[in-house]
Structure 1
């Protein structure tokens, strides 16, 4: 059970993505955008060089997911939303 509301998660998730994860991805030409948080699911979208990169799955698991779960809560779910699906988050 997640002890935080989606509103409680917004600031720490946003801060970690902006200050820690985004700079790591930018070094390789990638980017990340926080789309929304619903029911403790963090909807992000990998952008830039991350789109179509064979290592994007590892980036998601070993950088994004690891950082957010370690810093906030281990039950947090991270969902990478494919390009063009930004308005269909309920499908994930």
Structure 2
């Protein structure tokens, strides 16, 4: 797959997160970007997202699939406590 430009990947992930934040915030939550390294995107769920039983679906079927489609299929989301 070649070398990963973590800085470029970080910029792209931030842009996608910014577009998704209004939806997440409308549900009382927030997604904080912790870091990006080699297609692993580490996030922290805050607010209502932290305790929401459906946050798995938002992360996996919302954010992860969106990033895979718009940036790179190798992207994986890691949720940090």
TM-score, normalised relative to structure 1: 0.81
Higher helix share: 2
Higher strand share: 2
Unaligned runs of 5+ in 2: none
Indicate the residue corresponding to 1:89 in structure 2.
none
> How many residues are aligned here?
81
Q: How does 1:1-80 map to 2 (within 5 A)?
A: 1=1, 4-18=4-18, 20-80=19-79
> SS state of the match for residue 33, structure 1?
strand
Conserved? CA contact 1:2–1:75, under 8 Å = no
CA RMSD in angstroms comes to 1.3
**d(CA) in 1 for partners of 2:12 and 2:2?**
15
**d(CA) in 2 for partners of 1:51 and 1:45?**
8
**d(CA) in 1 for partners of 2:46 and 2:66?**
18
Unaligned runs of 5+ in 1: 83-92
TM-score, normalised relative to structure 2: 0.90
TM-aligned CA deviation for residue 3 of structure 1: 5.5
